[in-house]
Structure 1
Amino acid sequence: MMFKKILVPLHLDYTENHEKLFAGALEVLNDDVGKLSLLYVNENRAHGSVYPILDEENEKHYNHDAYIELKKIAQKHKLPEDKISFNIRDGSAHREILEEARRIKADAIVMMATKPGLGSYFISSTPERVIRHANCSVFVIRLTDYQSIK
């Protein structure tokens, strides 16, 4: 089955995962009419301890820098420019992923599973919540070898 609107949430720190993530997304994308929507969720406001440090002006710059980074990632991986959009959302990752999927009427979400912690034996909490509540297909790309943030 090929999908027309695929949401691809990205974590900007896990750059070594992106190649496998995009390979998975492109594998299920309809070549003729498919579109990828790259999403970065700025969780700074979701974590109260960080919020007081980031005033509105800093937040704007932070989100602009994330947008530039998304564009660089797309270029690095030679993603077709005419089939890509970029979005930044503020808030809790799983909620914003689900909301963005609804907003763009995604028919699939393709995301990475980060290394499970003790609290989540099979899959990390964000993909687990997205899978549970999504109104569309969700593909979770697992790494065979987990790598840490640089």
Structure 2
Amino acid sequence: MYSRILVAVDLDEPSSWQKPIATALALADCFGAKVALAYVVPDTVLMLQAQWSVSSVRAIMEDARIKLMKVTRDHAADRDLEEIVRSGPVYAGLIEAGETFEADLIVLSSRRPEMKDYLLGANASRVVRHAKCSVMVVRD
């Protein structure tokens, strides 16, 4: 049913990826699927922290890649997972990562919405609306 599963990871919120990773690995076991973890460095972070320096942007992206590799080691050391790091709007980066990985399922978490989510739109809901593949939302 699923052969390529992408898991969205927010490196700043461990509770946002613990259940989705476990869910994706269980599905991968059932279907023999490949799994990738994806993190998107929000463009606001790059603008605020990088101060438009190319070397700063590279450092932020490399730091994110190292942290994502640590998540893989800590939670799926015995698995051959791919790590994908993108930058930009989170929902767009996740959709792009899914397309690049050729995912047929994106697994992500969603917490109960707050007022700001109703005004700005949650990333999870945008991924659900715009992804070309199936999306599984795992509640925290």
State the TM-score, normalizing by the size of structure 2: 0.85
Alignment of 1:71-110 (within 5 A): 71-82=69-80, 84-110=81-107
- Say how many residue pairs are matched: 138
For residues 47 and 60 of structure 1, the distance between their equivalents in structure 2, rounded to whole angstroms, comes to: 13
- Does the CA contact (< 8 Å) of 1:8 and 1:38 recur in 2? yes
The 4+ residue runs of structure 1 with deviation greater than 6 A are none
Are residues 90 and 49 of structure 1, via their aligned partners in 2, closer, same or farther at CA, if it must alter by over 3 Å? closer
For residues 47 and 66 of structure 1, the distance between their equivalents in structure 2, rounded to whole angstroms, comes to: 12
What residue ranges of structure 2 are gaps of 5+ in the alignment? none
Are residues 132 and 78 of structure 1, via their aligned partners in 2, closer, same or farther at CA, if it must alter by over 3 Å? same
What is the Cα deviation at residue 132 of structure 1? 0.7
2:2 partner amino acid: F
For residues 11 and 115 of structure 2, the distance between their equivalents in structure 1, rounded to whole angstroms, comes to: 23
Indicate the RMSD between aligned Cα atoms, in angstroms. Answer: 2.2
Q: Percent identity?
A: 29
Are residues 58 and 22 of structure 1, via their aligned partners in 2, closer, same or farther at CA, if it must alter by over 3 Å? same
State the TM-score, normalizing by the size of structure 1: 0.80
Q: Does 2:37 match 1:38?
A: yes
Q: Does 2:113 match 1:126?
A: no
Q: Does 2:120 match 1:114?
A: no
What residue ranges of structure 1 are gaps of 5+ in the alignment? 144-150
**Structure holding more helix per residue:** 2
